[in-house]
Amino acid sequence: MNINSVATTPFKDQKPGTSGLRKKVAVFQSPNYLENFVQAVFDTIFGNAAAPPDTALVLGGDGRYYNREAIQIILRMAAANGVARVLVGQGGILSTPAASCVIRKYATYGGLILSASHNPGGPEGDFGIKYNTANGGPAPEKITDAIYARSRELSGYRIVDAPAVPIDKTGNYRLGEMDVEVIDPVADYAELMEALFDFGAIRELLAGDFGLCFDAMHAVTGPYAKEILERRLGAASGSVINGVPLEDFGGGHPDPNLTYAHELVEIMYAVDAPDLGAASDGDGDRNMILGRGFFVTPSDSLAVIAANAILAPGYAAGIAGIARSMPTSAAADRVAEKLGVPCFETPTGWKFFGNLMDAGKVTLCGEESFGTGSSHVREKDGLWAVLFWLNILAKRHLSVEQILIKHWAEYGRNVYSRHDYEALPSDIAADIMAHLKGRFGELPGQVFGDYRVKFCDDFSYTDPIDGSVSTGQGLRIGMDDGSRIVFRLSGTGTEGATLRIYLEAFEPDPSRQGADAQLSLAPLIAIADELSQLRQRTGRERPTVIT
């Protein structure tokens, strides 16, 4: 077996964002691009040497265009870098939470996940790669920074000459000195879900007249949802729609929100809508939950799951704590307070939850961006959230909407919305942020209609476990009554800049909790525009996406 050392000129643009390195497919296809990054990962995690003896890695992706080619390249590079064994999902498929599950279950050194999450796929779409560590979670900033530094300096990579591994059939193969085990991508994950949720109760619910629609958006969760929801739990065949993963997600944008999951939204707002609607994204870590004609914000979903957690066998002993990203609404904080458990506010990105979960400080985590999960893995988990809702519905015998109405009556409602302005010229977006920050000195104490500004800051976070500090995590404007406006630039967009504005107003009065969120938030939306001069500076009349 020949180990080739291929010379490269290092790349300067391989800085991993909030969830790994994401670029257009064409960029990944350019000579040595993927190879350079993968070698930078190996050099970083193996200390510029061959992998330690018996090193095993997990490898899989969301099945998007270029997944299969990338898998073969990475396998040949892993062999050349001394990796002893790679577990690959059949067909190159592993949802992000399933990859996390497999890393943990088989105690591997780590894993490489190929995905650009919810970004469109296909030859014109996006591709991505990220490294997860032995705890199953995304590598912390310390490691991603080191990978980035290495990617800018290395002058060559190692790869063996070998024929492609037949990844479409489960079984054991050899690649040079390395073992390749092609595994069923669903089995380990499905087993974990059975251990966490009351499958008996859910089966009974689904055997009755309860209707379920799960939209896999032609992305990775199709096979997972069919196996778990239809086969193991007995949901009617056809409950899973768009269940065949396609390399370009059928031309769609595999992001489970009200804009992109419009097929599901139409079904759930029709007269004969089923009882629960849900969707997941490209790599299966996001979720959207809908009742009949009713949208559950992800922030509320986290709070409801927390409040009802003990109904699921895996959480029957109670939860240790909750963590939410800063822009996520404080609905979960209210539940944590009542339960007498801590609630942590972290920067955006799942990686910030890892330390808290490893230290046993939190059980549940969530982000407003349709991400919910728990310490069962170290990624957010779309299907897990759907199963949690099914478990709650099976035990409470209420509709999704009734559950929310009761929840708000008990805890108050954190009315919430996010406005995204996508593909803005980067300099204009940066100017808006700089201008806003420049006004922070004068804002506290100022009155805008019913609101008085209490504080403004640029959010920074000190990790309570390892003391690491993350600064510049979003501009917060907090009002006296707990309402908030947050401005943040996306770290995952691949075209220009995406500006996200997060709006949150607290409504304790049940008689006003049912109002339309955009109406309730209108005063805050106006303040956000006035403070940022957004419309004037961008020429945009409205956000690209409202959730």
95 sits near ligand G1P (criterion: CB under 6 A):
no
Residue in 117, 301, 325, 374 annotated catalytic? 117
Q: Which residue is nearest to Zn ion (CB)?
A: 117
Question: Exposed e or buried b for every residue in 116-149, given b needs 16+ CB within 10 A?
Answer: bbbbbbbeebbbbbbbbbebbbbbbbebbebbbe
CB of 382 to ligand G1P, least distance (A): 11
CB of 255 to Zn ion, least distance (A): 8
Which residues are CB-contacts of 474 (< 8 A; sequence separation ≥ 6)?
Answer: 326, 327, 347, 348, 458, 459, 486, 487, 488
Q: Which of 36, 329, 348, 547 binds ligand G1P (CB under 6 A)?
A: 348
Q: Which residues, 99 to 118, sit near ligand G1P by CB under 6 A?
A: 117
Cα gap 383→230, rounded to integer Å: 13
CB of 258 to Zn ion, least distance (A): 17
367 sits near ligand G1P (criterion: CB under 6 A):
yes
Please state, in angstroms and as integers, the Cα–Cα distance from residue 543 to each residue in 315, 430, 434, following that order: 39, 17, 20
Q: Which residues, 267 to 326, sit near ligand G1P by CB under 6 A?
A: 325
- Structure-block tokens of residue 412: 């108050």
Number of residues that bind Zn ion (CB under 5 A): 5
Taking Cα atoms as reference points, which of 131, 132, 63 lies closest to residue 94?
63
Which 3 state secondary structure label does DSSP give 99?
A: helix
DSSP assignment of 447-503: EETTEEEEEEEE--EE-TTT--EE----EEEEETTS-EEEEEE-SS-SSSEEEEEEE
Inter-axis angle of helices 298-307 and 400-411, nearest 10: 80
281 sits near Zn ion (criterion: CB under 5 A):
yes
- Structure-block tokens of residue 55: 């090193």
490 sits near ligand G1P (criterion: CB under 6 A):
yes
Residue 181, number of CB atoms within 10 A of its CB? 15
DSSP 223: H
Taking Cα atoms as reference points, which of 247, 272, 242 lies closest to residue 260?
242
For residue 375, indicate whether it is catalytic: no
Nearer to ligand G1P, 239 or 374 (CB): 374
Q: Which of 19, 44, 144, 257 binds ligand G1P (CB under 6 A)?
A: 19
Contact 462, 355 (CB under 8 A): no
117 sits near Zn ion (criterion: CB under 5 A):
yes
350 sits near ligand G1P (criterion: CB under 6 A):
yes
- Contact region with Zn ion (CB under 5 A), list: 31-39, 75-83, 223-231, 275-283: 275-283
| β-pair partners for 127 | 23
- Contact region with ligand G1P (CB under 6 A), list: 93-101, 292-300, 343-351, 422-430: 343-351
Nearer to ligand G1P, 125 or 493 (CB): 493
Nearer to ligand G1P, 155 or 460 (CB): 460
Q: Which of 36, 221, 492, 520 binds ligand G1P (CB under 6 A)?
A: 492
Q: Which residue is nearest to ligand G1P (CB)?
A: 490
CB of 492 to ligand G1P, least distance (A): 3
Cα gap 242→263, rounded to integer Å: 10
39 sits near ligand G1P (criterion: CB under 6 A):
no
CB of 14 to ligand G1P, least distance (A): 17
**HEC per residue, 110-143:** EEEEECCCCCCCCCCCEEEEEEEECCCCECCHHH
CB of 327 to ligand G1P, least distance (A): 7
- Contact region with Zn ion (CB under 5 A), list: 53-61, 276-284, 338-346, 470-478: 276-284
257 sits near ligand G1P (criterion: CB under 6 A):
no
Nearer to ligand G1P, 314 or 347 (CB): 347
Q: Which residues bind Zn ion (CB under 5 A)?
A: 117, 281, 283, 285-286
Q: Which residues bind ligand G1P (CB under 6 A)?
A: 18-19, 117, 325, 348-350, 367, 369, 371, 490-493, 500
The catalytic site residues sit at 117
